[in-house]
Amino acid sequence: MTSDTIIDMTDKMYAELALERSIKDKFGVDADIRQAIVFKVPVSHTAEATLFLTSKKQLYLYVFGESKLLLGDIKKIVTRMGLKADTYLPPKGRPNYFTEVGSAKFRDVFPGRSHISEADILFYKTLSPYNPALVLISEVNNGVVYQFDADSTSGWRQATKFTYRRIRTS
Protein backbone atom coordinates (compact mmCIF):
# COMPACT_ATOMS: atom_id res chain seq x y z
CA MET A 1 0.00 0.00 0.00
CA THR A 2 1.14 3.46 -0.80
CA SER A 3 0.86 6.36 1.58
CA ASP A 4 -1.84 7.91 -0.69
CA THR A 5 -3.97 4.77 -0.33
CA ILE A 6 -3.64 4.87 3.46
CA ILE A 7 -4.58 8.56 3.52
CA ASP A 8 -7.63 7.89 1.31
CA MET A 9 -8.74 5.03 3.58
CA THR A 10 -8.27 7.20 6.67
CA ASP A 11 -10.22 10.07 5.09
CA LYS A 12 -13.06 7.68 4.21
CA MET A 13 -13.14 6.27 7.76
CA TYR A 14 -13.34 9.80 9.21
CA ALA A 15 -16.07 10.71 6.70
CA GLU A 16 -18.06 7.59 7.66
CA LEU A 17 -17.66 8.38 11.35
CA ALA A 18 -18.81 11.97 10.75
CA LEU A 19 -21.81 10.63 8.81
CA GLU A 20 -22.72 8.26 11.68
CA ARG A 21 -22.58 11.17 14.15
CA SER A 22 -24.64 13.42 11.89
CA ILE A 23 -27.32 10.74 11.54
CA LYS A 24 -27.36 10.20 15.31
CA ASP A 25 -27.67 13.97 15.97
CA LYS A 26 -30.27 14.78 13.32
CA PHE A 27 -32.38 11.59 13.23
CA GLY A 28 -31.64 9.75 16.50
CA VAL A 29 -30.70 6.57 14.61
CA ASP A 30 -27.66 4.48 15.55
CA ALA A 31 -26.34 3.75 12.07
CA ASP A 32 -23.23 1.63 12.45
CA ILE A 33 -21.93 1.80 8.87
CA ARG A 34 -20.60 -1.58 7.84
CA GLN A 35 -20.25 -0.94 4.12
CA ALA A 36 -20.68 2.15 1.97
CA ILE A 37 -22.24 1.08 -1.34
CA VAL A 38 -21.89 4.52 -2.94
CA PHE A 39 -20.29 7.42 -1.10
CA LYS A 40 -21.18 11.06 -1.81
CA VAL A 41 -22.39 10.51 -5.37
CA PRO A 42 -24.21 13.38 -7.10
CA VAL A 43 -28.02 13.07 -7.23
CA SER A 44 -28.70 16.59 -8.59
CA HIS A 45 -26.69 19.69 -9.45
CA THR A 46 -26.45 20.62 -5.75
CA ALA A 47 -27.10 17.43 -3.76
CA GLU A 48 -25.12 14.29 -2.93
CA ALA A 49 -26.13 10.93 -1.51
CA THR A 50 -24.51 8.09 0.38
CA LEU A 51 -26.02 4.61 0.27
CA PHE A 52 -24.77 2.36 3.04
CA LEU A 53 -25.40 -0.96 4.75
CA THR A 54 -25.45 -1.08 8.57
CA SER A 55 -24.17 -3.85 10.80
CA LYS A 56 -27.85 -4.90 11.20
CA LYS A 57 -27.98 -5.38 7.40
CA GLN A 58 -30.31 -2.41 6.88
CA LEU A 59 -29.81 -0.28 3.79
CA TYR A 60 -30.02 3.50 4.25
CA LEU A 61 -29.78 6.43 1.87
CA TYR A 62 -28.51 9.73 3.28
CA VAL A 63 -29.12 12.73 1.02
CA PHE A 64 -27.77 16.21 1.68
CA GLY A 65 -27.51 19.30 -0.45
CA GLU A 66 -26.54 22.92 -0.56
CA SER A 67 -29.97 23.97 -1.79
CA LYS A 68 -33.43 23.57 -0.31
CA LEU A 69 -34.73 19.98 -0.61
CA LEU A 70 -38.31 18.91 -0.01
CA LEU A 71 -39.75 15.47 0.75
CA GLY A 72 -41.05 15.39 -2.84
CA ASP A 73 -37.52 15.99 -4.16
CA ILE A 74 -36.14 13.16 -2.01
CA LYS A 75 -38.87 10.79 -3.26
CA LYS A 76 -37.87 11.59 -6.87
CA ILE A 77 -34.19 11.07 -6.08
CA VAL A 78 -34.87 7.68 -4.45
CA THR A 79 -36.86 6.54 -7.48
CA ARG A 80 -34.33 7.81 -10.02
CA MET A 81 -31.49 6.11 -8.15
CA GLY A 82 -33.30 2.80 -8.75
CA LEU A 83 -34.30 2.30 -5.12
CA LYS A 84 -37.56 1.56 -3.30
CA ALA A 85 -38.12 3.45 -0.06
CA ASP A 86 -39.45 1.74 3.04
CA THR A 87 -39.48 4.68 5.47
CA TYR A 88 -38.62 8.36 5.24
CA LEU A 89 -37.24 9.05 8.70
CA PRO A 90 -38.36 12.32 10.32
CA PRO A 91 -35.99 14.60 12.24
CA LYS A 92 -35.05 13.53 15.77
CA GLY A 93 -37.74 14.22 18.37
CA ARG A 94 -40.45 14.95 15.77
CA PRO A 95 -42.10 11.63 14.85
CA ASN A 96 -45.06 13.39 13.17
CA TYR A 97 -42.94 15.98 11.33
CA PHE A 98 -44.32 15.37 7.83
CA THR A 99 -47.93 15.36 9.07
CA GLU A 100 -47.37 18.57 11.09
CA VAL A 101 -45.83 20.43 8.17
CA GLY A 102 -48.39 19.05 5.70
CA SER A 103 -51.29 20.11 7.95
CA ALA A 104 -49.83 23.61 8.41
CA LYS A 105 -49.36 24.07 4.66
CA PHE A 106 -52.89 22.73 4.01
CA ARG A 107 -54.32 25.25 6.52
CA ASP A 108 -52.43 28.06 4.78
CA VAL A 109 -54.18 27.17 1.52
CA PHE A 110 -57.59 26.28 3.03
CA PRO A 111 -57.90 28.31 6.26
CA GLY A 112 -61.64 27.59 6.68
CA ARG A 113 -61.41 23.77 6.69
CA SER A 114 -61.74 22.27 10.17
CA HIS A 115 -61.74 18.51 9.56
CA ILE A 116 -58.55 17.53 7.78
CA SER A 117 -58.03 13.93 6.70
CA GLU A 118 -54.81 12.13 5.84
CA ALA A 119 -55.85 12.12 2.17
CA ASP A 120 -56.23 15.92 2.26
CA ILE A 121 -52.63 16.52 3.35
CA LEU A 122 -50.97 13.77 1.30
CA PHE A 123 -49.69 16.24 -1.32
CA TYR A 124 -48.83 18.92 1.26
CA LYS A 125 -46.54 16.48 3.10
CA THR A 126 -44.31 16.42 0.02
CA LEU A 127 -43.70 20.16 0.53
CA SER A 128 -41.95 19.52 3.87
CA PRO A 129 -38.34 20.80 4.00
CA TYR A 130 -36.12 17.70 4.20
CA ASN A 131 -32.40 18.41 4.10
CA PRO A 132 -30.56 16.31 5.12
CA ALA A 133 -32.74 13.27 4.46
CA LEU A 134 -32.46 9.71 5.75
CA VAL A 135 -34.38 6.95 3.99
CA LEU A 136 -34.63 3.28 4.93
CA ILE A 137 -34.46 1.36 1.65
CA SER A 138 -36.45 -1.83 1.08
CA GLU A 139 -35.11 -2.82 -2.34
CA VAL A 140 -32.64 -2.02 -5.12
CA ASN A 141 -34.50 -2.33 -8.42
CA ASN A 142 -32.80 -4.58 -10.99
CA GLY A 143 -29.62 -4.68 -8.87
CA VAL A 144 -28.35 -1.31 -10.17
CA VAL A 145 -27.81 1.95 -8.27
CA TYR A 146 -27.78 5.12 -10.40
CA GLN A 147 -26.23 8.54 -9.91
CA PHE A 148 -26.90 11.93 -11.49
CA ASP A 149 -24.94 12.74 -14.64
CA ALA A 150 -25.77 15.96 -16.47
CA ASP A 151 -23.90 14.78 -19.57
CA SER A 152 -25.92 11.59 -20.14
CA THR A 153 -29.07 11.62 -22.26
CA SER A 154 -31.32 10.42 -19.41
CA GLY A 155 -29.55 12.53 -16.78
CA TRP A 156 -28.58 9.40 -14.83
CA ARG A 157 -25.91 6.73 -15.18
CA GLN A 158 -25.00 3.54 -13.38
CA ALA A 159 -23.01 4.13 -10.19
CA THR A 160 -22.65 0.51 -9.12
CA LYS A 161 -24.30 -2.89 -9.12
CA PHE A 162 -25.74 -3.99 -5.81
CA THR A 163 -28.52 -6.45 -5.05
CA TYR A 164 -30.65 -5.95 -1.95
CA ARG A 165 -34.18 -6.81 -0.87
CA ARG A 166 -35.40 -6.41 2.68
CA ILE A 167 -37.60 -9.26 3.84
CA ARG A 168 -40.11 -8.17 6.46
CA THR A 169 -40.42 -10.31 9.56
CA SER A 170 -42.98 -10.06 12.32
72-109: pLDDT as tens digits: 999 999 999 999 999 999 999 999 999 999 999 999 99
Tens of pLDDT, residues 10-51: 777 888 888 999 999 999 998 888 999 999 999 999 999 999
The identity of residue 77, as a single letter, is: I
Q: By the 8 A CB rule, do 34 and 55 touch?
A: yes
The pLDDT of residue 3 is above 60 = no
Indicate the SS3 state at residue 150. coil
Q: By the 8 A CB rule, do 128 and 101 touch?
A: yes
C-alpha angle 82-123-144 in degrees, rounded to nearest 5: 0
- Give pTM, 2 decimals: 0.90
Give CA–CA dist 132/69, Å, rounded.
Answer: 8
Helix runs in 84-156, H state only: 97-109, 118-125
pLDDT at 126 (0 to 100): 95
Which of 77, 81, 33, 40 lies closest to 59, judged by CA? 33
Tens of pLDDT, residues 101-160: 999 999 999 998 888 889 999 999 999 999 999 999 999 999 999 999 988 888 899 999
